[in-house]
């Protein structure tokens, strides 16, 4: 919750940390749940044999299905902490650009692909945004909302071409776990810019944006790059996401402990 710096709870927390924080020789934050549950496994990208948007040829090579849409995913708790009007406005801009390029297909010029957008999560503002989505009247963009099980969620992320995070951080200091999930599945991310997001989204594995126009341009550029044999921008982000997930949770945890 964005209580603000003058809220009594925030003031109390500030005084507590000021008093006791400086007396510690080290600070370590972790979730006990991650250490206690032996069933927790690293997120994995979906195998090519199981993907809905790719196909394995008779010679074993993996190719995109002809004419498939670009799959974009986002997850949210549907609260005021995330302004989903930014994403909807960006999708309207993308739809206008893609619709205007439909004629180019018949002329043999590469056009922007259609978008399939799946927004996962549940929360108080979900119905409000679903009503907005129903009134958009988009032609080249299809948007669906869903609540996925813990088993299906990583499969969706592993199938996606691009993830979008609208997390803004009430403190400006906490990092969105949804971005960790997306990168952990090898999916590049477009994330809303705030003070510490660069610690996760580095430019090598994703992009940051400040408004709907910038997000729309990023989606358009990456969609075009993904379909181009000569434009390697999207491929570089895929490689960056793969590098991110090459360091698993246990390895990173051990590195942090060595600092103490």
What are the strands of the beta sheet with 206-209, ordered from one edge?
141-146, 115-120, 70-75, 162-165, 189-192, 206-209
Is residue 250 scored above 90 in pLDDT? no
Does the structure show a pLDDT above 70 at 206? Answer: yes
The torsion angle over the Cα atoms of residues 153, 157, 159 and 164, rounded to 10 degrees, is: 130
At residue 230, the 3 state secondary structure works out as coil
Model pTM score: 0.75
pLDDT of 50 higher than 80: no
pLDDT for 242 equals: 92
Residue 14 pLDDT: 80
The vertex-55 CA angle with 50 and 56, nearest 5°, equals: 95
Is 109 a residue whose pLDDT tops 60?
no
Those residues whose C-beta lies under 8 Å from the C-beta of residue 84, and which sit 6 or more positions away, are 76, 78, 119, 125, 129, 166
Give the span between the Cα atoms of 74 and 59, in whole angstroms.
Answer: 34
**6-20, 45-59, 202-216: which range is least confident on average?**
45-59
């Amino acid at each position: 919750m964005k209580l603000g710096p003058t809220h009594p709870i925030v003031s109390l927390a500030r005084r507590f940390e000021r008093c006791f924080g400086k007396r510690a020789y080290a600070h370590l934050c972790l979730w006990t749940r991650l250490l206690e549950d032996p069933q927790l496994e690293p997120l994995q990208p979906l195998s090519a044999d199981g993907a809905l948007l790719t196909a394995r040829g008779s010679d074993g090579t993996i190719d995109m299905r002809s004419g498939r849409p670009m799959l974009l995913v986002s997850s949210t708790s549907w609260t005021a902490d995330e302004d989903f009007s930014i994403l909807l406005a960006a999708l309207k801009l993308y739809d206008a650009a893609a619709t205007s390029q439909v004629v180019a297909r018949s002329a043999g010029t590469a056009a922007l692909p259609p978008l399939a957008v799946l927004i996962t999560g549940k929360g108080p503002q979900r119905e409000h945004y679903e009503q907005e989505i129903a009134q958009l009247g988009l032609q080249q963009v299809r948007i669906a909302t869903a609540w996925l099980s813990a088993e299906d969620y990583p499969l969706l992320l592993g199938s996606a071409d691009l993830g979008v995070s609208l997390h803004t951080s009430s403190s400006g200091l906490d990092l969105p776990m949804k971005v960790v999930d997306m990168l952990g599945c090898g999916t590049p991310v477009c994330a809303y810019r705030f003070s510490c997001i660069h610690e996760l989204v580095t430019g090598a594995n994703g992009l940051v944006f400040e408004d709907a126009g910038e997000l729309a341009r990023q989606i358009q550029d990456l969609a075009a790059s993904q379909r181009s044999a000569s434009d390697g921008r999207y491929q570089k982000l895929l490689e960056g996401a793969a590098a991110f997930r090459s360091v698993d949770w246990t390895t990173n945890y051990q590195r942090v402990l060595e600092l103490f």
